[in-house]
Chain A
Amino acid sequence: QKEVEQDPGPLSVPEGAIVSLNCTYSNSAFQYFMWYRQYSRKGPELLMYTYSSGNKEDGRFTAQVDKSSKYISLFIRDSQPSDSATYLCAMSEGGSEKLVFGKGMKLTVNP
């Protein structure tokens, strides 16, 4: 079993839809949880960062962490065509610089 599991999709939704992206993990030592966005032929860029359990909101984006279930989510409200990209979850242990990534979910938002 990989440390981080992410459904690779792809996922296609109409503009304005609510999108839910999820990852599960097995390492209970993970404390930092991130979502990266990667546009085609570009490097990943940090989108959201969460420490431990709870929710974090930034504009149309909400990140949720449930450490008891080892489950993290990213919600995108009012999705836009510009949100079309691959979304990767990433996690690290406390005190470690090493990130473990999910395989990424390719999202397409259709106008």
Chain B
Amino acid sequence: DAGVIQSPRHEVTEMGQEVTLRCKPISGHNSLFWYRQTMMRGLELLIYFNNNVPIDDSGMPEDRFSAKMPNASFSTLKIQPSEPRDSAVYFCASSLIAGGRETQYFGPGTRLLVL
């Protein structure tokens, strides 16, 4: 199994530019999570999907952030326009919800730097 795949692994952009982060969950998993990790705030849940439907987006910081999951094998997190305070490591995780213990498997992350 290839695990959760994220791209790009690193992104450097200038303030005001649009940034799109991509995630391919583990095949067969039915839940997908987007997290942001910073030194100041730690690992925070931004949004999660179950069966491609957004369930909870209460962690999305503001309207500049949007996420989509058009099918079971692909999700995007978009920031438009980007700001320096968005600099962080963004993780995607997936899990299989099967009525019991569910483990979230994390991708390697995308390191975003907004100048």
A103 proximal to B (CB < 8 A): yes
Task: Tell me the A30-56 residues at the B interface (CB within 8 Å).
Answer: 32, 41-46, 49, 51
**A26 to B65, alpha carbons, bound, how many Å?**
29
| Per-position 1/0 for B73-115, Cβ under 8 A of A | 0000000000000000001010101000111111111000000
Query: Does B42 touch A at the CB level, under 8 Å?
Result: yes
Contact (Cβ within 8 A) A46 B108: no
- Which residues on B sit within 8 Å (CB–CB) of A49? 101, 103
Which residue of chain A has the shortest Cβ distance to B56 in the bound complex?
Answer: A98
Count of CB-CB pairs between chains A and B under 8 Å: 48
Chain B interfacial residues counted at CB < 8 A? 25
How many chain A residues touch B (CB < 8 A): the figure is 18
Taking Cβ atoms with an 8 Å cutoff, the residues of A that contact B are: 32, 41-46, 49, 51, 88, 97-104
Query: What is the distance, in angstroms, from A46's C-beta to the closest C-beta of chain B?
Result: 5
List, in ascending order, chain A residues with CB within 8 A of B101's CB.
32, 49, 51
Which secondary structure dominates chain A's binding surface?
Answer: loop
- Which residues of the partner chain B approach A97 to less than 8 Å between Cβ atoms? 31, 33, 48, 50, 55, 95, 97, 102
Residues of A within 8 A of B72 (CB): none
CA distance in complex: A51, B22 (Å): 33
Contact of A104 among B42, B48, B93 (CB under 8 A): B42
What 8 A-B pairs have minimum CB-CB distances, sorted nearest first? A43-B106, A103-B42, A101-B43, A46-B103, A44-B106, A43-B107, A43-B91, A43-B108
